[in-house]
Amino acid sequence: MGRLNGKVAIITGGARGMGASHVRRFVSEGAKVIFTDILVEEGQVLANELGENAKFMKHDVTNVNDWDQVVAQAEGRFGPVNILVNNAGIAPNNAIEDTTEQEYRKVIDVNQVSVFLGMKAVYPSMRKAKNGSIVNISSLAGLIAGRNQIAYVASKFAVRGMTKAAALEFGEFGIRVNSIHPGIIETPMTMNDETKAMLAEISKVIPLGRTAKPEEVTNLVLYLASDESSYSTGSEFVIDGGLFAQ
């Protein structure tokens, strides 16, 4: 029996990396999944691979009308939504003096405003379902700051606080809200030509001595999405190989 049997989930940023890992695992655990991204070709390939229990939608997570359409599609195809994983995000590296207002606002829109829009959009559906779990993917940068990441740090700290605020409001309706704070995960966004050497050096100071695979984060996302975490809400869950413990 799957750990998510009978659940309907929405996962953003699901075409590749951590998001694709979440989508695959959710389907294998019995969930029916609407997953979204702006990477249409990669998203459709994954949907074709997974079959009838997964549907891909092109989705601008900063657009309220797109959110309404995603929730409507989920309800129309599968039923009321039980799970939302706010996974979409971007992570530029720029010094403060080199960051334009436009660049800053884009990161806030994609990483922070989208989380607000997503939680607001699924809330009525989860109330109909009479239960729900919202998992907001923040970052270790939502707990400690990093150099040349002013916009990213701001957005991820905000996600942590928004998670707690939503948990207080939604709890009486059986809707749980938690945040996950990954450290260095091996995804296309992090493991590129510009960052590989730097991350190899950082790995040397990680207590576990390595970076993480996306599937390791997926294990935690699955736990929080499932009924196994039925008494966890308003909390942050760190998965960083011990970096934050130092």
Residue 4's alpha-carbon distances to 7, 44, 101, 110, 207, in angstroms, are: 5, 23, 42, 28, 32
123 catalytic residue (yes or no): no
Report the C-alpha gap between 86 and 76 in whole angstroms.
21
Residue 91's alpha-carbon distances to 88, 117, 139, in angstroms, are: 10, 20, 10
Q: Which of 104, 152, 223, 231 is catalytic?
A: 152
Report the C-alpha gap between 206 and 226 in whole angstroms.
29
Report the C-alpha gap between 124 and 121 in whole angstroms.
7
Structure tokens at 203: 């790995």
Residue 123's alpha-carbon distances to 60, 99, 151, 158, 174, in angstroms, are: 19, 34, 27, 19, 11
Residue with the two structure tokens 């229990």:
53
Give the residue numbers annotated as catalytic, written as ranges.
Answer: 152
